[in-house]
Chain A
């Protein structure tokens, strides 16, 4: 049985842990609000972009001259997985769930005899994937210096991906990230960006009117597709950032509560052993007096 001093030390150490997790939870809550706002304000651009893209793509997809970013290379042998994770841990299952999805994806593709390459963004995903897939890594983007997520970060990633595509390194690119549903729910998502997938229904709203295209549909589409890739990467990064903070907040909330429970239990135990020690001492004195 632990001594009273041990118990006291234990209680104090759990108390300081609780302070830390509580602080982290509050920091995550503040960051989450900012991340949500950022995601919100990026929405108009992405929505308009998607609507216009959908309208154009619908027209172009039938023709043979459709750009490769839309129609694909006509092959799907080589895949690029872009795995977006965070730079820091202590965010519950945030990173593991993305990595798990990416891993399943990679295993399935390799099982079908396809080539897989992996581009990682964020340290955590790289660490977790390193053991099984380190040979497949083509590039790592370090986001640890990034204080505020900007469009230029997304564009840099997208430019790199596009360059590889132009060079013929892969046929299909898929983004892996956590879609932000709510503070307690983040959904690991795989989204194919090259060739562009146009979601059903997006074309319906917004681009119903017959537009004049200047200089021409195909020229605009060729201009737009790389931008759409960057926009999708940006959206994914923002969703991911919000998800990370949400996951961390939930995880830290749990940790704080667990620490509280543990303190209660330890305190009970502490009081009990203190009481036992006092009783024991009394018995010793009484039986000592009786023996005289």
Chain B
């Protein structure tokens, strides 16, 4: 069995990364998971968090993503993320923007909930998104509270 697999990090605007890797650690929606060559085919929802990629020389690269999903095939992994940044490119500014959008989503979900009383899960999902986002920020040493909360 091959000891590496093809890893693609794809954003809507372009392909961010395409390298052979030994291992990818993903922040799955239901918990973190590791994918190595020969992993069973799977499609996994991702929460906002850090993706760790171990390349063919054993070096680790970390990416912050804003959620998305990963498609795991026998010999390849495609990770589709709306925002994917190298850990050191993830600045407070970018993070603030992400926090703002998460706050906005929560507000919108709550407003809809108040207006029509629909889909409690939508509010829960928005709250979870916000919490995940905060956790990501804290994890890489950014302040989740410095973004202005829209009203």
Q: Which positions in A face B, CB cutoff 8 Å?
A: 38, 41-42, 44-46, 48-49, 52, 56, 150-151, 154-155, 163, 166-167, 209-215, 219-220, 223-224, 227, 230-231, 234
CB distance from B105 to the nearest CB of A (A): 9
For B11, what are the chain A residues with a Cβ–Cβ distance below 8 Å?
45, 151
Q: Which residue of A lies closest to B11 (CB)?
A: A45
* A-B contact sample (12 more), CB < 8 A, given A167-B116, A213-B42, A214-B44: A42-B13, A48-B10, A52-B71, A209-B41, A211-B41, A211-B71, A212-B42, A214-B30, A215-B29, A215-B45, A223-B45, A234-B12
CB distance from B15 to the nearest CB of A (A): 5
How many A-B contacts if CB must be within 8 Å?
A: 74
Inter-chain CA distance A56–B11, complex, in Å, is: 21
In the complex, B87 has a CB within 8 A of chain A = no
Q: Which positions in B face A, CB cutoff 8 Å?
A: 8, 10-15, 28-30, 33, 40-45, 69, 71, 73-74, 78, 80, 82, 108, 112, 116, 118
For B14, what are the chain A residues with a Cβ–Cβ distance below 8 Å?
41-42
Contact A209/B73 with A214-B43, A223-B45 known, Cβ cut-off 8 Å = yes
Q: A38, A41, A150, A212: which contacts B15 (Cβ < 8 A)? A: A41
Inter-chain CA distance A166–B45, complex, in Å, is: 22
CB distance from A147 to the nearest CB of B (A): 14
Q: Can you list 12 contacts pairing A with B, beta carbon distance less than 8 Å?
A: A38-B13, A42-B13, A45-B80, A48-B71, A48-B80, A52-B69, A52-B71, A56-B43, A151-B12, A166-B118, A209-B73, A215-B30
For B8, what are the chain A residues with a Cβ–Cβ distance below 8 Å?
44
For A44, what are the chain B residues with a Cβ–Cβ distance below 8 Å?
8, 10, 15
Q: A42, A163, A212: which contacts B41 (Cβ < 8 A)? A: A212
Inter-chain CA distance A56–B42, complex, in Å, is: 12
For B12, what are the chain A residues with a Cβ–Cβ distance below 8 Å?
42, 45-46, 151, 154, 230-231, 234
Most chain A C-beta atoms within 10 Å of own C-beta, residue among B8, B11, B12: B12
CB distance from A234 to the nearest CB of B (A): 6
Contact A214/B80 with A42-B12, A44-B15, A151-B11 known, Cβ cut-off 8 Å = no
Inter-chain CA distance A212–B69, complex, in Å, is: 13
For B43, what are the chain A residues with a Cβ–Cβ distance below 8 Å?
52, 56, 211-214, 220
CB distance from B143 to the nearest CB of A (A): 23
Q: B40, B44, B82, B112: which contacts A151 (Cβ < 8 A)? A: B82
Q: Which residue of A lies closest to B39 (CB)?
A: A212
CB distance from A9 to the nearest CB of B (A): 50
Q: A46, A167, A227: which contacts B82 (Cβ < 8 A)? A: A227
Q: Which residue of B lies closest to A210 (CB)?
A: B41
Q: B13, B78, B112, B116: which contacts A48 (Cβ < 8 A)? A: B78
In the complex, the answer to whether A211 meets B82 with C-beta atoms within 8 Å is no
In the complex, the answer to whether B41 meets A220 with C-beta atoms within 8 Å is no
In the complex, the answer to whether A41 meets B41 with C-beta atoms within 8 Å is no
Inter-chain CA distance A56–B80, complex, in Å, is: 16
For A209, what are the chain B residues with a Cβ–Cβ distance below 8 Å?
41, 73-74
For B80, what are the chain A residues with a Cβ–Cβ distance below 8 Å?
45, 48-49
CB distance from A70 to the nearest CB of B (A): 16
CB distance from A33 to the nearest CB of B (A): 16
For B10, what are the chain A residues with a Cβ–Cβ distance below 8 Å?
44-45, 48
For B73, what are the chain A residues with a Cβ–Cβ distance below 8 Å?
209
For A215, what are the chain B residues with a Cβ–Cβ distance below 8 Å?
29-30, 45
Inter-chain CA distance A218–B101, complex, in Å, is: 24
For B29, what are the chain A residues with a Cβ–Cβ distance below 8 Å?
214-215, 219
In the complex, the answer to whether B82 meets A155 with C-beta atoms within 8 Å is yes
Inter-chain CA distance A38–B12, complex, in Å, is: 10
Inter-chain CA distance A223–B45, complex, in Å, is: 8
Inter-chain CA distance A45–B73, complex, in Å, is: 16
Inter-chain CA distance A224–B80, complex, in Å, is: 11
Q: Which residue of A lies closest to B81 (CB)?
A: A45
For A46, what are the chain B residues with a Cβ–Cβ distance below 8 Å?
12
Shortest beta-carbon contacts, A-B, top 6: A41-B14, A151-B12, A212-B42, A209-B41, A211-B41, A215-B30
